[in-house]
Structure 1
Amino acid sequence: MLGFGLAIEPQLWALLFVMVRVGSAFITAPVFGNMSVPLQVRVALSGAIGVLVLASHPIQPPAQIFAVATFLAVAAEAMVGLALGFVLQIAFAAPLVAGEIIGGSMGIGFANMIDPNSGRSSPAIGQFLSIMLTLLFLSLDGHLVLVDMILKSYTAMPPGAAWLTTTQMRDIAFFGGYAFLAGLLLALPVGFLLLCLNLIVGMLSRAAPALNLFAVGLPASLGVGIVSLAIAFPAMGDYMQVIVREGLAATQALVIR
């Protein structure tokens, strides 16, 4: 007790307990989990959203801090938060898959860059598509929807009963295949044109064996790839909106029963 008749320790412990789920979601979620976001900003956002959770839900943290039941409750909270962010991260892997397909077909699969968001090496085209998907995610208020899903998760999976069921874990595993499907569909317009070009170049190589394919095929692949990207980008942008909505719907399926 402080000198003002206020018990600060229980409220602080409840806030820290709530911040476990929120912070875990921000670690794996897109935008919030980028390396460019400072750790202090994530902690501040987790604390601010934790205050909202405490104001809207009657959260009862474990009575004892150093106890086995407390450690299990914290692990359950962390697993739920990681699952909420991981589902969205699966959807955001689709542009990287599309970048691999398009870059390999264009002959620039070697053009890799260090992604400042993840710190890993990824195709340049994949980074470009990832930036576009991130901008669409923000323009569709996806970050606000994610925060709303975190708040709703305390109703569907309150602390103390926050373990994911086998059905929910199965849905997360099956949603992992959506990244490959969405990446293939995202790269389909450009990939189809490049496939047609490769067929034409193959027929030319059979008709004129003395033709230098490297001097003809690589510039043609680059030119057709750039032009087809410029033409197909409006349709790719529309499908990126579908990817964002599918990722948010999969996240919503975890918190609404």
Structure 2
Amino acid sequence: MIELISINNFPIFLLILVRVLGFFVTMPLFSYRSISLPFRIGISFFLAFIMFYTVDATGITINEMYFFLLLKEILVGVLIGLIGYIILSAVQVAGGFIDFQMGFAIANVMDPQTGAQSPITGQYFYIIALLFLLSVDGHHLLIDGIVNSYQYIPIDSYIPFHDGNLVEFVIQAFNTMFLIAFQISIPIVGCLFLVDIALGIVSRTVPQLNVFVVGLPLKILVSFIALLVFISLYVVLVKNLFHIMFDTIRGLMQLFGGA
């Protein structure tokens, strides 16, 4: 502990702290409003305190480049947490697709965790996904990822921004997120598409029937039944989503490390 409070080692501890703190600012679960800011700062401090004795910082010299190292550590922590949040947001995007077909697109709710508006079905899916993530100790795996990030991105290295693979990787992550969202929503959206076809046939055969009055409650009923039927498939897709999220975070760290 005497080594930690030494003025010579404090800049190294600060580099570790800003990476961990940036990770907790954007990472799913820990970045939500329900987690107080003092708790996030405190857990970042104690985690950085533990990691201080395991990180190889022999190549660190306090010179004019230290400020750029500090910015690099902040950027690494923020981007690692942000890429995980982007992949996990596929659940809310899928809910938006479903709500658009159900007629709930205008009835967004305020998400108390992020302070932003989100679709009703997407919020329902998202809560299930977070509970599933906690049940399989996924939050421990996320913390383990930031601890092991120094194996891929040493504290004294810089991010190769000149490499075009970084932009390609981010674009691929967005493509993966929308693909997963489409896979989650396609069973229910497909059922609603069949309902639209049936309502179209009914409107042509029975013109006296007001399809708009009958169609909206019918689509809501079919959506709820489809949700009940496909909820097991949804859990499997969310499990695959977590695997993709962890693989994407590891791939980003390898890319940052020049691997």
Asked if these proteins are the same fold (TM beyond 0.5), I'd say yes
> Offset of 1:7 from its aligned partner?
5.5
Match in the other structure for 2:81? 85
Q: Where in structure 2 are the equivalents of 1:120-199 lying within 5 Å? A: 120-165=116-161, 166=163, 167-199=165-197
For 2:120, the aligned partner's letter is A
Over residues 75-125 of structure 1, what are the superposed CA-to-partner deviations in whole Å (9 max), with x where a residue is unaligned? 111111112111111111111111111111111111211101110011111
> Offset of 1:5 from its aligned partner?
10
Match in the other structure for 1:218? 216
> Offset of 1:6 from its aligned partner?
8.7
Q: CA RMSD in A?
A: 1.9
For 2:35, the aligned partner's letter is V
Distance 1:134 1:27, change over 3 A: same
Q: Give the % identical residues.
A: 26
- 2-structure distance, mates of 1:131, 1:10: 45
Distance 1:34 1:7, change over 3 A: closer
> Offset of 1:13 from its aligned partner?
3.2
Q: Where in structure 2 are the equivalents of 1:1-257 lying within 5 Å? A: 8-59=6-57, 61-63=60-62, 67=64, 69-165=65-161, 166=163, 167-256=165-254, 257=259
- 1-structure distance, mates of 2:245, 2:4: 43
- 2-structure distance, mates of 1:92, 1:254: 15
Distance 1:147 1:11, change over 3 A: same
- Structure 1: gaps (5+ residues): none
- Structure 2: gaps (5+ residues): none
SS at match of 2:109: strand
Over residues 197-224 of structure 1, what are the superposed CA-to-partner deviations in whole Å (9 max), with x where a residue is unaligned? 0110011111122211122101100100
Confirm or deny: 8 A CA contact 1:149 1:255 kept in the other structure: no
- 2-structure distance, mates of 1:219, 1:175: 37
Confirm or deny: 8 A CA contact 1:25 1:81 kept in the other structure: yes
SS at match of 2:123: helix
Q: State the TM-score, normalizing by the size of structure 1.
A: 0.91
- In the alignment of these two chains, the number of paired residues is 251
For 1:46, the aligned partner's letter is S
> Offset of 1:189 from its aligned partner?
1.1
- 2-structure distance, mates of 1:145, 1:241: 14
Confirm or deny: 8 A CA contact 2:15 2:69 kept in the other structure: no
